[in-house]
Amino acid sequence: MLNLIKDDDKHEFLYTNEDFEKVRGILNKLTGINLADSKDAMVYSRLVRRVRALKLSSIAEYLKYVAANAHEEQNFINALTTNLTSFFREEHHFKVLKDYLNDTPGVKRIWCAASSTGEEPYSIAISVVEALGRFDTNIEIIASDIDSNVLETAKQGVYHESRIQSLNLSMKKQFFHRGTGSNKGFVRVVPELRRMVKFRQINLLDSKWPIDLPVNVIFCRNVMIYFNREMQEALLTRMVRLLPKDGLYVAGHSENFSYFSHIVSAVGKTTYKPA
């Protein structure tokens, strides 16, 4: 007998607890993400678009399709990642970055390791410009994510005006162009700033990351929370190996690495240096 998810009457396509468990397993294997039990409705609402687009008849059929068509894995991942972000999210980190840049000569590279739709790496680029007083610096900013859709959005650097509402007027004027005509209501990051950021698709689970050394600063915020503790420890170890002794690691607000004092030491609120 099929084990139906409780509110299945509401579902246009058949969706069972077994499907949910399978989705969790596949997603975890591909990305390291652990979905909580409470995410069953979210999974349905996100996968249903693919089921419709492919004219399939159930979530189970879609999962068979994913298994048989390797190219669908990317759509599966894109559908299930959570990409919430904003310009200057956790603003205090950008002040820490500016201070770090002012106090540390010779910074070569900053890696933003789960950059989503680009607001975070562009906030990093703005902070670099503000700290060094110019766009053409020798600092390379690498922004990466596993999700190919968000990387496309990030490269375009086009956002709804409301996304920059909280920025001060001079920042808006210096770093964004307002759209006109059919682009009214949107802003675009100025080309000088776009050129400072190189976008790359990187799955943090991959055994090799295509990033040159040295990496002086790593922003890896609000992605470790999706991984289990063992994986967090393994990733943190690998990332910290990229940093010099005086490097800076910036974590998200709910990522507390006090368990990992053998890897990092806190230098401020959710900011760390190699231990």
Ligand X SMILES: C[S@@+](CC[C@H](N)C(=O)[O-])C[C@H]1O[C@@H](n2cnc3c(N)ncnc32)[C@H](O)[C@@H]1O
How far apart (Å, rounded) are the C-alpha atoms in residues 243 and 106? Answer: 13
Paired tokens of 107:
């910074």
How far apart (Å, rounded) are the C-alpha atoms in residues 209 and 76? Answer: 22
Catalytic residue among 19, 40, 145, 147: 145
Nearer of residues 5 and 197 to ligand X, judged by Cβ: 197
CA distances from 181 to 16, 145, 164, 253 (A): 47, 32, 19, 39
Is residue 84 near ligand X by the rule CB under 6 A? Answer: yes
Stretch 5-44 residues interacting with ligand X (CB under 6 A): 31-33
CB 145 within 8 A of CB 115: yes
Nearer of residues 175 and 227 to ligand X, judged by Cβ: 227
Nearest approach, Cβ of 61 to ligand X (angstroms)? 25
Determine which residue in the list 14, 56, 205, 266 makes contact with ligand X, applying CB under 6 A.
205
Is residue 82 near ligand X by the rule CB under 6 A? Answer: yes
Number of residues located near ligand X, criterion CB under 6 A: 24
- How many C-beta neighbours within 10 Å does residue 68 have? 8
Stretch 213-252 residues interacting with ligand X (CB under 6 A): 221-223, 226, 252
Nearest approach, Cβ of 113 to ligand X (angstroms)? 7
Is residue 46 flagged as an active site residue? Answer: yes
Is residue 127 near ligand X by the rule CB under 6 A? Answer: no
Is residue 204 near ligand X by the rule CB under 6 A? Answer: yes
What is the spatial order of strands in the sheet that 217-220 belongs to?
197-201, 140-145, 109-112, 217-220, 248-251, 271-274, 264-268
Nearest approach, Cβ of 115 to ligand X (angstroms)? 6
Is residue 107 near ligand X by the rule CB under 6 A? Answer: no
Tell me the per-residue interface mask from 174 to 203 with ligand X, x by CB under 6 A, - otherwise: -----------------------------x
Nearest approach, Cβ of 243 to ligand X (angstroms)? 18
Is residue 145 flagged as an active site residue? Answer: yes
Nearest approach, Cβ of 11 to ligand X (angstroms)? 26
Residues that bind ligand X (CB under 6 A): 31-33, 81-85, 89, 114, 116, 120, 145-147, 150, 203-205, 221-223, 226, 252
Catalytic residues, by residue number, are 46, 145
